[in-house]
Structure 1
Amino acid sequence: MVANLLIGLREGLEAALVVSILVAYLVKSDRRHLLGRIWLGVALAVVISLGFGALLTYGPKGLTFEAQELIGGGLSIIAVGFVTVMIFWMASAARGLSGELRGKIDDAAEGHPWALVLVAALAVGREGLETALFLWAATQAATRDQSSTAAPLLGAAIGIAVAIVLGWLMYVGALKINLSRFFLVTGIFLIIVAGGVLSYGVHDLQEARVLPGLHTLAFDVSHLIPADSWYGTLLKGVFNFSPATTVVELVAWLAYVIPVLTLFLIKINNRPARRTPAMAPQTVGDAS
C-alpha cells in the first residue's frame, strides 16, 4: 500500500504541478477565458486513464491461465519501462519544467483552439496511463497472493488526494517544494519498487512457460519471512519481495536495479550546481 501511495502521490503531484503551472500562467497573463480548455484536457485525460485501467482489468478474464500470465508479465515489464523513463525525465526536467510548459502554452494559445486541450490532456494523461498500468500490476500481484486488491487502489487514491491538495497549495503559493530533492528521494525508492515489479513480471512469464527456471530457487526464506506475516505482507506490498525467489527473478532484479540506480545517481550528481535565477532548483513557488 505504501508503494502505491507513493506512486499516486508522485504521479499525482507531477500532474498537479503541470496543471497549477498552466492555470497560474494563464491567469497571470490575463487569459482566464482559456482556462476551460485546460480543464477539458484534464477531464479527457482522466476519462482515458480510467478506460485504460478498466480495459486492463476486465480484458484478459476470458483467456487461459498461461495467456493471462503472459499478458500480466508483459504489461508489468512495460510498466517498469514507463516508470523508469518517468524517473529519468523528472531527474533532468525538474529544474526547467515551468519554463518548458510556459513556452508550450504560448504556442498553443496562439494556435488551434484545441491545442491547449491537447497540451493539458497529454501532460496529465501520461501520468494517468502510467498510474493505471502500475496499479494494474500491483492488483494482479495481490490477486495472485490472495490478498486484498483494495489496498493498492486505496493507497493510490490517498496519494492522489494528497497530490490534489498539494497542487492547490502550489497554486495559491502557500507551499514551496524543492522538486529536485523530492524527485531524488522518490526516484531512488521507485527504482527499488520497479525492480520488484520487474521480478514479479518475470515470475508471471515463468508461470506462462515463456521463461524457464520456475522451480529453480535462488533462495527460500519462507521460514524467516512467512508470506502471511505482517512484515512479509509489508515487504510484498511495498517491494514485491517474494520469500521464495527464483534464480531468474533475482538476476532480473539485480540486472535492473544496479545499473538503473547507478545511472540515476550519476545523472542527479551531474546536473549543473550553479545557483543563478535561471538554474536554481525548481520549486513550486517558481511556477506562479
Structure 2
Amino acid sequence: MRQTQTDIQHSNWDKARSHYKQFDSQWSKNEAAIRSDPSGVYGEIETKLSLIRIALQADPPKAEAADKGIRELIQLIDDYASGKLREDAAASGKQSVSDALAILQKAADAIGAGRNEDAADQLQAFIRIWPSVEGEVRTRAPDTYDRIEREMTEAASRLLSNPPQPEEAGRIVSGMQTELQPFTAQTSYSAWDAAIILLREGLEALLVLAALLAFLRRTGNASKQGWVWSGGAAGLLASGVLAVVLTFTIANVASGSTRELLEGVMGLISVFLMLTVGAWLHRKSHIDTWNRYINNQVGVALASGNLWSLFLVAALSILREGAETAIFYIGMAPSIDPAQLALGIGSAAVLLFLLGFVIVRGSVLLPIRPFFLGATILIYYLVLKFLGQSIHALQIAGQVPAHVPGYLPSWNWLGVYPTWETFVPQLLVLLFIVFQWARQERKTRGNARESGPHTV
C-alpha cells in the first residue's frame, strides 16, 4: 500500500493499480482470520479498500481521495497489528441482504432522477454495510460474491468519473439487484419450530409429573403428592432463572462479528442435546420401559422414606427440561423473528396449560408410544435444521470454509445449504439417526419376544 501511495503521488496510475491488486490478493489470503476478530476491524478494512478501488477506477482517477484512503488504511492496519483494536459501532447491528437491496434501490432511483452524487453516496453506504451481509452470499455462491465485490466499486466509479456515466452505472446496479434478490430468502426458524421445542419439553415434563402423581395415588401415598408439586415448582423457577442468566450472559458478548460464532456454537450444543434426547425418547416409547423408569424413580424415594428424594426427582425432571429448552431457544434466537418466537412460545404455553389440566386433574396420561415416537420425529427434524443453520453461521463468521459445487440442494425449510461443509454432516447425522432407530426397534422386538405378552 505504501508503494501504491508513492505511485499515486507520481501520477503513475497503471503501477498504482497493479500494486493495489497485489495488496488485494494478499488480503484475500488473510481476511478469514481477521473477519472473526471481535474488534470489527474487518469491516473497516473492507470499506476502505473499496473506497480506494473506486478512486483508482474513476476516470480520471481521484488522486486526493485515493491518497487519503491509503493513509487511513495504513494507519488502521498499523493500529490493528499493534493491538489497538477499535470497536466498530456499525458491527453491533444486524444488517441483512434485504437492507443492502434497499440501499441499491435508492441508488437506482437517484440514477433515474439524474442525481448522480446522491446515487454515489448510496453506493458508498452499500459498501459500508456489505461486510456485515457478505457472509450470507459468500457461503452460498462464491462467484456471485466475487462479482458483487467488483461491481459495487465499478458502479460508484462510473458515477464519480468526469463526465459521469449514469447509464452504465444504472445497468450495473440493476444487475447487482438481480444477483442479490435470491439471498433475501434466508433460512430461518418459524413459530412452528419454536412451538415444537416447548411442546416437546413441556409434554415430557407433564408426563413425568403425572406419572409420579398417579404412582403415588395407586400405592396409597396420595398424601405425599405435595412433595412432587413443590419439586416441580422449584424446578420451573430454577429453569426460569437459568434462562435469564444464559440470555443476558450471551447477549453481552454476542455483538459484532461474534454473533454468528456464538449462534453456531450454541446451535451445535443444541444438536448434541437433541440427539441425546431423541435416543432417550425412542427408548421410552414402549410402555414397559416407561413403567420401569417411573417405578425406579419413585420406588427408591418411598422405600428410603426420604421425601426430599421425591422432591428432587420432580425438581430435577423439570429443571432438565427447562435447561434444554433454554439452550435450544438461545441457539434459535438469532435466526428467528421475535414475533415468530413469541407466537410459538405463547401458543405452545397455552396448549400445555390445557393439556396439563386434562392430564393431571383427570389422571389421564397421553398414549405413551404415539407421543414419544411423534416427539422423536420432531426432535430429529430440528436436529437436521439446527445442524445446517449452525454450520452456516460458523461459515459466515469465517470459522468454517464454504465449498459450493453448484449441484447440491438448497431447502430452506430443513436448513440445507448448497455447501459440502453443511451437506455432508447433515447426511451423516441422518444416516446415524436411521441406524439408531433401526437398532432400537430391533432390540425392543427382541426383548418383547423374550418377555412374552404382558398386561398394562
TM-score, normalised via structure 1 length: 0.77
Aligned partners of 2:437 and 2:322: how far apart in 1? 23
Task: Tell me: CA distance 1:154–1:161, structure 2 relative to 1, closer, same or farther (3 Å).
Answer: same
Task: Tell me: CA distance 1:217–1:44, structure 2 relative to 1, closer, same or farther (3 Å).
Answer: farther
Q: Is the Cα contact below 8 Å between 1:66 and 1:207 reproduced in 2?
A: no
Among 293, 299, 308, the alignment partner of 1:106 is 299
Task: Tell me: CA distance 1:169–1:14, structure 2 relative to 1, closer, same or farther (3 Å).
Answer: same
Which residue of 2 is the match for residue 156 of structure 1? Answer: 345
Matches within 5 A, 1:111-126: 111-126=305-320
Task: Tell me: CA distance 1:153–1:134, structure 2 relative to 1, closer, same or farther (3 Å).
Answer: farther
Q: Once the 2 structures are TM-superposed, how far is the Cα of residue 140 of structure 1 from its aligned partner?
A: 1.7
Instruction: Check if 1:263 corresponds to 2:436.
Output: yes
Among 378, 386, 392, the alignment partner of 1:189 is 378
Q: Once the 2 structures are TM-superposed, how far is the Cα of residue 203 of structure 1 from its aligned partner?
A: 1.7
Aligned partners of 1:60 and 1:182: how far apart in 2? 33
Q: Once the 2 structures are TM-superposed, how far is the Cα of residue 217 of structure 1 from its aligned partner?
A: 6.5
Aligned partners of 2:391 and 2:399: how far apart in 1? 9
Give the aligned residue type for 1:207.
Answer: I
3-state SS of the aligned residue for 2:242?
Answer: helix
Task: Tell me: CA distance 1:184–1:255, structure 2 relative to 1, closer, same or farther (3 Å).
Answer: same
Which residue of 1 is the match for residue 266 of structure 2? Answer: 75
Q: Once the 2 structures are TM-superposed, how far is the Cα of residue 124 of structure 1 from its aligned partner?
A: 1.6
Which residue of 2 is the match for residue 58 of structure 1? Answer: 248
Q: Once the 2 structures are TM-superposed, how far is the Cα of residue 16 of structure 1 from its aligned partner?
A: 0.4
Aligned partners of 1:217 and 1:49: how far apart in 2? 44
Task: Tell me: CA distance 1:218–1:60, structure 2 relative to 1, closer, same or farther (3 Å).
Answer: farther
Task: Tell me: CA distance 1:260–1:220, structure 2 relative to 1, closer, same or farther (3 Å).
Answer: closer
Task: Tell me: CA distance 1:195–1:165, structure 2 relative to 1, closer, same or farther (3 Å).
Answer: same
Task: Tell me: CA distance 1:190–1:247, structure 2 relative to 1, closer, same or farther (3 Å).
Answer: same
TM-score, normalised via structure 2 length: 0.51
Which residue of 1 is the match for residue 192 of structure 2? Answer: 2
Which residue of 1 is the match for residue 202 of structure 2? Answer: 12
Which residue of 2 is the match for residue 276 of structure 1? Answer: 453
Higher relative contact order, chain-length normalized (CA < 8 Å, sep 6+):
1
Instruction: Check if 1:40 corresponds to 2:230.
Output: yes
Q: Is the Cα contact below 8 Å between 1:219 and 1:246 reproduced in 2?
A: no
Instruction: Check if 1:207 corresponds to 2:412.
Output: no
3-state SS of the aligned residue for 2:401?
Answer: coil
3-state SS of the aligned residue for 1:114?
Answer: helix
More displaced, 26-35 or 129-138?
Answer: 26-35
Among 335, 338, 349, the alignment partner of 1:141 is 335
Task: Tell me: CA distance 1:168–1:61, structure 2 relative to 1, closer, same or farther (3 Å).
Answer: closer
Listed one character per residue, the Cα deviations across residues 145-196 of structure 1 (whole Å, up to 9, x for unaligned) are: xxx2232343234234323433433345575643223322332232122111
Task: Tell me: CA distance 1:179–1:124, structure 2 relative to 1, closer, same or farther (3 Å).
Answer: same
Taking only the aligned residue pairs, the percentage that are identical comes to 25
Aligned partners of 1:68 and 1:253: how far apart in 2? 23
Give the aligned residue type for 1:189.
Answer: L
Q: Once the 2 structures are TM-superposed, how far is the Cα of residue 21 of structure 1 from its aligned partner?
A: 1.0
Q: Is the Cα contact below 8 Å between 1:184 and 1:268 reproduced in 2?
A: no
Give the aligned residue type for 2:453.
Answer: T
Task: Tell me: CA distance 1:18–1:62, structure 2 relative to 1, closer, same or farther (3 Å).
Answer: closer
Q: Once the 2 structures are TM-superposed, how far is the Cα of residue 249 of structure 1 from its aligned partner?
A: 1.5
Aligned partners of 1:66 and 1:269: how far apart in 2? 47
Rg: which structure is higher? 2
Q: Is the Cα contact below 8 Å between 1:76 and 1:197 reproduced in 2?
A: yes
Aligned partners of 1:87 and 1:23: how far apart in 2? 25
Q: Once the 2 structures are TM-superposed, how far is the Cα of residue 219 of structure 1 from its aligned partner?
A: 5.8
Q: Once the 2 structures are TM-superposed, how far is the Cα of residue 216 of structure 1 from its aligned partner?
A: 3.9
Q: Is the Cα contact below 8 Å between 1:72 and 1:201 reproduced in 2?
A: yes
Give the aligned residue type for 2:306.
Answer: H
Runs of 5+ unmatched residues, structure 1: 143-147, 226-231, 279-285
3-state SS of the aligned residue for 2:371?
Answer: helix
Aligned-pair Cα RMSD in Å? 2.8
Task: Tell me: CA distance 1:57–1:216, structure 2 relative to 1, closer, same or farther (3 Å).
Answer: farther
Instruction: Check if 1:247 corresponds to 2:440.
Output: no
Which residue of 2 is the match for residue 85 of structure 1? Answer: 276
List 4+ stretches of structure 1 deviating above 6 A: none
Aligned partners of 1:5 and 1:219: how far apart in 2? 33
Q: Once the 2 structures are TM-superposed, how far is the Cα of residue 131 of structure 1 from its aligned partner?
A: 1.5
3-state SS of the aligned residue for 2:249?
Answer: helix
